[in-house]
């Protein structure tokens, strides 16, 4: 069964520092992977998704993620943190397609990013 593990429930970085949020996946088939961000009291917003077209995926707000099959990882990075990046980040994998046209996401437990001025 497809699953994801996010390492670190809370990450703190200084403003301007590198952001690295870790996500490892478990999948018996090529996975479809997503990173979502959730600001306080809001819904989830898609940052980026991996669809096997390219291993380095660029997303919104300067974020990117690299798919590494050998490490079963899909870590999220941003070269320079902004105060506005403080939020909860979720890695997700699409569960095995059921054939009904829709699909289920399995989310990691989330990583809260704090940015220190």
On whether the CB atoms of residues 85 and 115 are closer than 8 A, the answer is: yes
Which residue stretches of the chain are H helix? none
In whole angstroms, the minimum distance from the beta carbon of 58 to other proteins comes to 15
Q: Pick the piece of the chain touching other proteins (CB under 8 A) from 15-23, 67-75, 78-86, 100-108.
A: 100-108
* H/E stretch holding 67: strand 64-68
On whether the CB atoms of residues 100 and 91 are closer than 8 A, the answer is: no
- Tokens 């999220």 belong to 76
Closer by beta carbon to other proteins, 45 or else 80: 45
Q: Pick the piece of the chain touching other proteins (CB under 8 A) from 18-26, 35-43, 64-72, 73-81.
A: 35-43
Positions that interact with other proteins (CB under 8 A): 32, 34, 36, 41-46, 49, 51, 90, 94, 97-105, 107-110
């Amino acid at each position: 069964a497809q699953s994801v593990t996010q390492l670190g429930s809370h990450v703190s970085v200084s403003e301007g520092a590198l952001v690295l949020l870790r996500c490892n996946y478990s999948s018996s088939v090529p996975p479809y992977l997503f990173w979502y961000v959730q600001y306080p009291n809001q819904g989830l917003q898609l940052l980026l998704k991996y669809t096997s077209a390219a291993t380095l995926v660029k997303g919104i707000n300067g974020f990117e993620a690299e798919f590494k099959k050998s490490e079963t990882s899909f870590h999220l990075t941003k070269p320079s943190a902004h105060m506005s990046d403080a939020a909860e980040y979720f890695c997700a994998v699409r569960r095995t397609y059921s054939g009904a046209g829709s699909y289920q996401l399995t989310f990691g437990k989330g990583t809260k990013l704090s940015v220190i001025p």
